[in-house]
Amino acid sequence: MLKIENLKTYYGNIQALKGINIEISEGEIVTLIGANGAGKTTTLMSISGVVPPRSGKISFNGKDITGIAPDAIVPLGIIQVPEGRRIFPDLTITENLDMGAFLRKDDAGIKRDMDYVFNLFPILAERRSQRGGTLSGGEQQMLAISRALMAKPKLLLLDEPSLGLAPILVQLIFDIIKKINKEQKTTVFLVEQNANMALKTAHKGYVMETGRITMADTCANLLKNDEVRKAYLGI
Ligand code: ATP
């Protein structure tokens, strides 16, 4: 579904991605793990068109999407949940969800998907008239994921969804990611520093160090790998 070939992305003279290759098949959850500053967010920003790559190629379902602007990426069904959530603090939960569906015209489908996300996160249903900015960090993460689902993503890009959440919420968010993948058949690209949870959630994983992919394997194998265990799982 998504193929990244020899991608190089810069911020001015700083090379953040040094020729990376990543492949994501339809229906998979694929994770990208790595330390702070490894280039994980830049990878997502390169896909979503926010930081256009300098060279290399990104294809989505066979179509070259390299360097395409974000407003052309979203209608293809590639929807990003940015790090730090970025919900609309002054809009209510329902209004935030409506914003996620702004390109859609199928009112019945929108209603069905709103019911689906309220069913995933009952706390959002209870607080549907409350302003987004009054929610806790965990609830804002739930809202950010829900808003992305309202866009009916084919490929959901998640940037550190567990960041700053209490352990019980971290578990909930990863359970929900698996549920969305299974029930909605949404393909997921999950960027995480929480390697343990990410590798237990995804099917396939990539390890990134200073702008390079250093390992790629099934998550089952990565969880058994001595280097991964030492560097990322603290075992
Ligand atoms: P984190 O987990 O901290 O978000 P990351 O793996 O997502 O880390 P990136 O944010 O992609 O890493 O950063 C990759 C490199 O690019 C780092 O060296 C970072 O300092 C640099 N970088 C990121 N954003 C910018 C920017 N706007 N301008 C200049 N350099 C940047």
User: Would the CA dihedral through 161, 69, 23, 233 be positive or negative?
Assistant: negative
pLDDT-above-70 percentage for the chain? 100
Token code pair at residue 177? 């990611």
Atom of ligand 1 at shortest range from CA of 45: 11
* Mutation to probe ligand 1, out of 40, 50, 207 (largest number of atoms < 8 A from CB): 40
pLDDT-above-90 percentage for the chain? 91
* Mutation to probe ligand 1, out of 10, 42, 46, 81 (largest number of atoms < 8 A from CB): 42
Helices vs strands, H then E, count in the chain: 10, 10
Return the residue whose CA atom lies nearest to atom 17 of ligand 1: 37
Give the pLDDT of residue 83.
83
pLDDT digits (tens, 9 = 90+) for 73-97: 999 999 999 887 789 999 999 999 9
Give the pLDDT of residue 88.
94
Residue 13 has pLDDT above 90, yes or no: yes
- Give residues with Cβ within 8 angstroms of 183, minimum separation 6: none
* Mutation to probe ligand 1, out of 32, 41, 189, 193 (largest number of atoms < 8 A from CB): 41
- Residue 69 DSSP symbol: -
Residue 20 has pLDDT above 90, yes or no: yes
Give the pLDDT of residue 118.
97
What's the mean pLDDT when you consider all of the chain?
95
Amino acid identity, residue 108?
A
Q: Indicate the pTM of the whole model.
A: 0.94
Query: What does the pLDDT average to over 117-139?
Result: 95
Give the pLDDT of residue 94.
97
- Residue 183 DSSP symbol: H
Ligand 1 centroid–CA 41 distance in Å is 7
Confidence tier at 235 by pLDDT (50, 70, 90): confident
Ligand 1 centroid–CA 70 distance in Å is 19
Give the pLDDT of residue 135.
94
